[in-house]
A and B are shown apart, each in its own frame.
Chain A
Amino acid sequence: MAESKIMLGNEAIARGAYEAGVKVSAAYPGTPSTEISENLVQYEDIYAEWSPNEKVAVEVASGASISGVRSMACMKHVGLNVASDPLYTMSYIGVKGGMVLVVADDPGMYSSQNEQDTRMIGRASMVPVLEPSDSMEAKEYMKYAFDLSEKYDTPMILRTTTRLAHSQGLVELEDRAEPIPIPYERDIAKNVMMPAMAIKRHLVVEDRLNRMADDAATLTLPSGQALNRAEYGDNKIGFITCGIAYQYIKEVMPEASVLKLGLVNPLPLKLIEEFASKVDRLIIFEELEPVIEEQVKALGIKCEGKEIFTRQGEYSANMIREKLLGQKLDIDEAEKVAPRPPILCPGCPHRSVYSVLNKLKIHAAGDIGCYTLGAVAPLSVVDTTICMGSSISSLHGMEKAMGKDYIRNWVAVIGDSTFLHTGVNSLMNMIYNKATGTVIILDNSTTGMTGHQDHAATGKTLKGEPTYAINLMNLCKSMGIEHVYEVNAFDLQTLEETIRREQDRDEVSVIITKSPCVLLKGQVFPDKCVPIPEKCRKCGACLRPGCPALTRNEDGTISIDETMCNGCGLCMQLCKFDAIVKEAK
């Protein structure tokens, strides 16, 4: 028997890539896709990198494919927006070596700014989409996606969701197939997309998608199982479903007839017509957008979907029990208890910078990262968050709309990784178009929120090898920005002086606040902060930034949890009465 292992969905995808003989992988971290790249590192036969953004990653994979090897790129759903430029045109070009984009959607928005459905982008870009429903399928579909990519000369999307990416299940392991590299041939009609060529390729793309839809009923995985599988049972209700939603049906109604789609773009329309004709009531059970439902309805087939089940969030087995079967579930009411949202860690350098911005009553155009948490009380500094890199350009837009005095009490805040992702373009725009705003780069030397991935300014590659580290200060200066300052994120006085001064300046300024993320490995925190109750005047200044290590005692003095405190000294600096001191741990 083959070796079986319990694997995270993302781990299984990495394994599938390995077994498929992938040579090159590029990605930018993004929950819930990050662990795919982190798991690829273990396979020496694969070159895997962190690229500065998803567009770059897909272009790296495209070049690798054109050169004749199997390649992949991984991203979260919003990352595909950044990468959609190469995606739409690679759809025309097709592939030489198979190419797969793994795109992870986030229904329920556990760690995202929107809830978009990648299947819609698959349709729009005319790129086929596969969607697995557990870890074993994740590995199998990943492998099979490369076969389909080469057979139909198309990039493929493997769509996952948070629930699949971050669930573990049993996976049977197989050996790596080493594909034979395909010799390079110059082919400008296929690989140079200028109008004369692209007009012809558009026809090829349409034909390819039609052929695939025709073949869809007979597409078979290497395991011998059909990619699109009709499981006939009780025909009173028939479900059409895909991805994790399939599991909820199996949980509640294992006897029901189900058409489980592995290929979600293009749809196997003939198979759907046949299935629909055999069941009394047809239900489309798909998370997020009615992608299948609308196409089924367009065929003139009667079915139900979004009138029963929501477009929002994740599905569940209880949802079927309640909404479809009308069962009254005997469930207690949830207790209304104090929420426990995510917060900045004790010792987080963002808290220190935000405490200064809060004191100076400055608004921040925010960005994507842990520091988005500065929007909520008690820091309440971040006023806007749109997408990666948007802090700088949206601040610029405000200035151009309202004038330089309007943004006198505004800054843009952006992390180091996010700055290199797309913020750098926005900064170019500021200097080019005569802006006067102030940009704060919160440099914690890592990609924090997604779990500490390296980037182009950390000096280390995804594989852990030492490499050149881009110097953010020099980078900003090289654009022609004269006023670039580096300040220790915990030096409150210098921070305040620098921010005040640069706010008043009628030129673009960049303040780089430097201090590593407290969760970065290998750091030693020798000190802890200790309160001296006798000196405490109970003013609460130390509590204002909301450090979770601090609590107020009943008598108004404070306690500091020594297991949580990293000795950053923010509370100590905020105390005017020397009632907090640093001690060795």
Chain B
Amino acid sequence: MQKRGGSKLSAMLRYVTKKLLIGAVIVILVPTFIFLIMQLVPGDPIELMAGERATRERIEELKRTWGLDKPAYIQYLYWLRNLLTGNMGYSYVHKQPVAHLIEARLFYTIVLTLPALLLSFIIGVPLGVIAALKRGKFIDNLIEGVVTFFYSMPTYWLGLMLMLIFGLRLGWFPISGISGVKSAVLPILTYALPSIATSARTARTEMLEVLTEDYIRTAWAKGLPSKKVILSHALRNALIPVTVMFFLYLPWIIGGAVIIETVFAWPGMGSLLYKSIVKQDYPVVQAIVFIIAVLTVLCNILGDIIAALLDPRIRLEQEEV
């Protein structure tokens, strides 16, 4: 099973190439699947677009304009060819290139997700580590309690309650749409609180596990100062799976955008995906799902690479697919 040879670097290169190839297959398969779904979905986007009173001729004309009079496989081949040249198609609803639409909205999604991710790392991980170190004590129970509470909360309800308290009652922040930096605060909090809970949970579990390892017992037995044992022995190793988890959850967080952006009427990718599904604006749906698929594959590979870089025990070449 285990192949020998080459340095760690070349093994990693081989591994990455292989994963990228598999990833490319997935990235093509996912939108193909979505394309098939859309062929099977009842309802016709053109009829939606033309309105109820449109004549047969008008609908036929629209279909010709959008290339929808051709058989499905021709449409699919067109879409694939366009994708290879960087053309993601043309939105039925917005009547403009999908790439433009997404470009304008990507920024707004990043503005919410990036700070939320940073917050969940900066606040969540230390909370989890403290809970693990004080296992069973009051502080651990308190952190666990609060974390489980936020973990059990639907994000859209959290968003509504934050709106209600800080937007309507206290009037500190605008409740929806975008009007300046302040309007990003509530959506970011809605993202961040459950993410903080998730990363605190993971950090606690990993830290507890590392603390029972033999090498930690050895470190204590050697008489190393507790600061050194905890920081450079335990924490370093506990952080590896936590970091990997971050990469694995990145696509999930983008998925959460569908709900949070809809609640806050935030003009990002998530609300665009939601509206496009409702309006059967297939080119947009396909493009966003394609982007999420690419992101998912990349994050998975990055997670593996980072784990291998941080942990000398993990050798990527052993992971045969």
Bind each other? no
